[in-house]
């Protein structure tokens, strides 16, 4: 069974726009989708299925935050 992701606009003005474990993307459900593994000021350490090593990227590059939806 495929997982469902709830996408919401990333609130860049929030004190914590993302949390460790969130998914981020430039488009809702768009590719690539990154998982947040650590947070730095204005940046997040991200990993995806394609790259072995996590990499730091600016949060301003992303518009969407996703979380796995509860079973529907």
pLDDT in tens, 4-57: 778 889 898 988 889 998 889 887 767 788 899 999 888 999 998 777 788 899
For residue 39, count other CB atoms closer than 10 A to its CB.
Answer: 17
pLDDT surpassing 60 at residue 2: no
pLDDT surpassing 50 at residue 1: no
**58 secondary structure, DSSP code:** E
Q: Which of the four pLDDT bands, split at 50, 70 and 90, describes residue 58? A: very high
Q: Which of 22, 2, 4 is nearest to 14 (CA)?
A: 22
Q: Which of the four pLDDT bands, split at 50, 70 and 90, describes residue 69? A: low
- The pairs formed by 27-33 with CB atoms below 8 angstroms and a separation of 24 or more are 27/63, 27/64, 28/64, 28/66, 29/5, 29/66, 30/64, 33/66
**pLDDT of 8:** 87
């Amino acid at each position: 069974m495929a997982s469902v992701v709830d996408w919401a606009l990333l609130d860049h003005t929030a004190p914590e726009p993302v949390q460790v474990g969130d998914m981020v993307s430039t488009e809702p459900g768009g590719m690539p989708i990154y998982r947040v593994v650590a947070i730095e000021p204005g940046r997040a350490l991200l990993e995806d299925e394609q790259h072995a090593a996590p990499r730091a990227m600016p949060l301003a590059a992303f518009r969407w935050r996703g979380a796995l939806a509860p079973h529907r």
